[in-house]
Amino acid sequence: MSTTVAQTATGLAEAWEVSRGAGAVVAIIDEDASARYHPAFAGRVIAPGVAFGDGQTRDARMRAHSIKVAGLALGDGPPVTGIAPAAHLLPVVVPELGTVVGSREEAQAFRWGANHGADVICCAWAPPRPTPESGTLPPHTRDAVAHCLTRGRDGKGCVIVFSAGNDGSDLALNGYASHPGVIAVGACNCRGKHASYSGWGDALWCVFPSNDPHDSVGASMTYLTTAPVGSLLDGEAYYTTRFGFTSAATAAVAGICALIVSANPGLTSTEVKAVLRDSCEKIDAEGRTYDERGHSPLYGYGRPDVARAVELARQR
């Protein structure tokens, strides 16, 4: 049972009456994602996909993740329409991210994205099975993230969105998503409950619906999104119905951030985070996991209401 992001994003139709992401630039640091691989992004790629590392040897099947992420964030259908279908795409290629994190190439990618116009930087990946050692944010990447947050967008700061990961681990072990300047995104299921695979903890900022293998209804709730042209991914060309987990949730929230920036380009990255927080609905409130700040280790500040986020952005 696949769905579209428009069916699960609360308030999206109302938000589109105000903004569809025009003027916002979403950098996707991942495997390659550009108009060369899918017509859904044609005319909206503001720079060629620059590869940091050996990005030329990977075939269409190995680019699948980034194309799925891009489709959910800013695809322009039919049949796939992402959260911010009028935003521009800035593909930033780090092939190693399919298997490992921590390379100097990932740090170069962050700096390049910020220096080439990124408003939102989408990182739908996480350290695999993080430990206190393997999940540490390397100094070179920490410096690059700081560059994005302080120098990006003419000093207003790039909005950096990170996946909470699919290992069900405490974000305290994940130095990327727990960086205080970024937005850590987890997953809830279609019933508004915690998906057991999703990273959790004090650093979690918000959640977005995705599939849940342990839920009788939500197990097969994956998203329809773009797939690399010619990949025949899952037997399908151009599109796939099998995108989920925290990657899908992160892509969707990156799109929401693009709508916020489009609605009010003067907002700083810190203000965008606050708008997103203040737009959130407290899901699973009967679970009594929210503290006096309105924060839950399972849901962050809750599930964003896109219409409310855009309206709050315009009021700032």
Which of the following is catalytic: 34, 210, 247, 269?
A: 247
Task: Determine the Cα–Cα distance for residues 15 and 26; give it in Å rounded to an integer.
Answer: 18
15: three-class secondary structure by DSSP: helix
Q: Are 24 and 88 in contact (CB under 8 A)?
A: yes
Residue (of 78, 80, 83) closest to 26 by Cα position: 83
E strand or H helix that includes residue 105: helix 104-115
| Given 19, 34, 38, 65, the catalytic residue | 65
Cα distances (Å, whole numbers) of residue 65 to 184, 194, 251 = 19, 23, 11
Start-end of H helices in 2-101: 5-8, 12-16, 64-74
Answer yes or no: 65 catalytic.
yes
SS3 letters across 241-297: EEECHHHHHHHHHHHHHHHHHHHCCCCCHHHHHHHHHHHEECCCHHHCCCCCCCCEC
Burial of 202 (0-12, 13-18, 19+ CB in 10 A): middle
Residues 92, 58: contact at Cβ < 8 Å? no
Helices (H), 134-184: 139-151
Give 163's strand partners: 185
Residue 30 appears among annotated catalytic residues: yes
Structure tokens at 307: 């219409």
Q: Which of 202, 289, 297, 190 is nearest to 249 (CA)?
A: 190
Catalytic residue among 19, 30, 178, 262: 30
What's the angle, vertex CA 6, arms to CA 237 and CA 26, rounded to 5?
Answer: 75
- Name the nearest CA neighbour of 99 among 144, 58, 50: 58
Active site positions, annotated: 30, 65, 247
